[in-house]
Structures are given as C-alpha cells and as structure tokens.
Copies of this chain bind each other. A is one copy, B any other.
Amino acid sequence: MLIGYLGPKGSFSHHVAQKAFPKGKLVPLKNITEVMKAYESGQVDYSIVPVENSIEGSVHETLDYLFHQAAIQAVAEIVQPIKQQLLATSLNKPIEKVFSHPQAIAQGQKYISQHYPNAQFEITASTANAARFVAEHPDMNYAAIAPQASASEYHLKVVARDIQEMEENYTRFWILGHRVPELDLPKQGDKQTLALTLPDNLPGALYKALSTFAWRGIDLTKIESRPLKTALGEYFFIIDINNEKKKLVEFAYQELANLGITFKVFGSYTVFLIHDK
C-alpha cells in the first residue's frame, strides 16, 4: 500500500505516516499540494496532510485546496504532539548557525538565545530539510531545530531535548482516502468538517447556519472564516462538528440546504492520538 506524505524523510508528516501505516510504502512529496495531487491521480492509496497546529492555526494550503480544487474525503484524523530537538553532527561543538522552519525557530528562539547568544538563525523550507542540510555539512558549526525522527534519519546527535517554548503544541493531520483505514492507535471521538458558503441574499446567514447545529445540541469544536479569494470581505466558513449524533447532523444538513446555504463535507472521521515517548 502506497502512502503519500510531506517529505523529506524525518519530518513530522513522515513520523505520522510511519505510526499510521507501519507496513505501508511511504512516498515523500515536495509540498502539501503535491501530496494531495498524488492521491487524486491514484499515484498513492492514501495521503497524509497537516490540517491545523495548536499554536499556528490552520494550514491554509491544505484547507484551501480541499475547498477550491478537490473532491477528496478525510477518512481519519491523527493528532501528533510537536516537540523540537536541537540537532548537530556531534555533541559539544560550537554552534554558529541554527537552521529551521520559521515556526520551529519561533519555538526554539528563547532556548537558543539563552544557550548560544551569538548563534544566527537561517530559514529553511522545513525542519527535516534543516536537519538534512546540517548532516550534509559536518565540517561547519551548524545545528538544526527538528523532530526526533530527523535525528534518526540523518544520523544527527541530540544536543538539547524538547527545546520548544510552549508545552502544549499539537498538529492535526488528516488521512485522505476512499476507505476508512484500520489504525492501531488510541481513539478520541468522531468529528466531521465542512465548509459553508453563504448566499448573498440571506441576512444573518452565518447566524442561521450556526443555528441549525445549535438548536439540535450539536457541538461546534471549531469555526474559521477563509477568504473566498474573490474580494476582501468575502469568506467561506470551515466548521468542525461533533459527529456523535449522526441522525441530528443529517437533519441539520437538510435545513442548511433549505436555507440556500451550500456546504462541502471534507470528511467524517475518527480522531486518533499519537503518544510519543
């Protein structure tokens, strides 16, 4: 079974793919859009994409593509804790430059400035790219902020462990596919994500849309407006709902349709958790 993920090897996406499909053949792809296209074109059986981080918020590349261009279903969600490591080719070497993705730099900045006040930061496209680059330059005084998986993948030493500033840092990943996969991971409830487009001629349309869920006691766990990319001030709305009252959710959808509110379901899925040691 072929599984597409956001490469290179040693990324958080790679780690999630390994945890979800330990027997799968994992196919690294160069950006999130390529990961989704690989699934659409049948090049892989499932694709794994990041959806939201607890600090940074939604991954727009994923949600915008699913809304504007795709007819793909999320069939499972995996929640991955994000912990960042300071990696180098050897321990105790001086560190002059630290490479990482801007988000990981933001999380590691405090630690680095305390312990390596003269170190400079260099931005890379991903944390795993940073690790690979550092591994390729063993003669330089370089370090990377990257996940544990990158240390194993590129044979780097962990100079400092869990240097991220915020303790509570998680990323939600979706598995895109035709069938619900069987995952050997602990479960945490059922959700559904949909995108609403509101008609221009319905005053208070968003309020009415939310009413269809509220008066049935269906919990919304998230709401977010995203630009429709037409004009400033025109949005679609991504909402996550608790999918434990399936019959009531169906009635809510009928009512949305009657109100003239268009909706696109991104998926009905079980949420799984990864517990790293």
Contact = CB atoms under 8 A, between A and B. Distances in A.
Interface stretch (A140-148, A231-239, A247-255): A231-239
Contacts of A54: 227, 229, 231-232
Contacts of A79: 232
A235 B206 contact: no
A172 interface: yes
A203 B216 CA distance: 12
Contacts of A222: 225, 233, 235
Interface in A36-83: 52-57, 60, 79
A233 B204 CA distance: 26
Copies in the complex: 2
B60 A57 contact: yes
A213 B168 CA distance: 33
A211 B221 contact: no
Contacts of A211: 207
Nearest to A222: B225
Contacts of A166: 229
A66 to B, nearest CB: 15
A180 B235 CA distance: 29
Contacts of A123: 123, 125
Interface residues of A, number: 38
A178 B213 CA distance: 41
A237 B214 contact: no
Q: Which of A123, A227, A231, A237 has the most CB of B within 10 A?
A: A227
A258 interface: no
A259 interface: no
B227 A206 contact: no
Contacts of A224: 224-225
B231 A168 contact: yes
A265 interface: no
Contact of A56 (B60, B214, B225): B60
Given A55-B227, A207-B210, 15 more contacts: A52-B232, A53-B227, A54-B227, A55-B229, A123-B123, A123-B125, A170-B232, A172-B232, A206-B220, A206-B223, A207-B213, A207-B214, A221-B233, A223-B223, A223-B237
6 contacts: A56-B227, A170-B232, A172-B232, A203-B217, A207-B211, A223-B237
Q: Which 8 A-B pairs have the closest CB atoms?
A: A207-B214, A54-B232, A170-B232, A204-B214, A224-B225, A54-B227, A168-B231, A207-B210
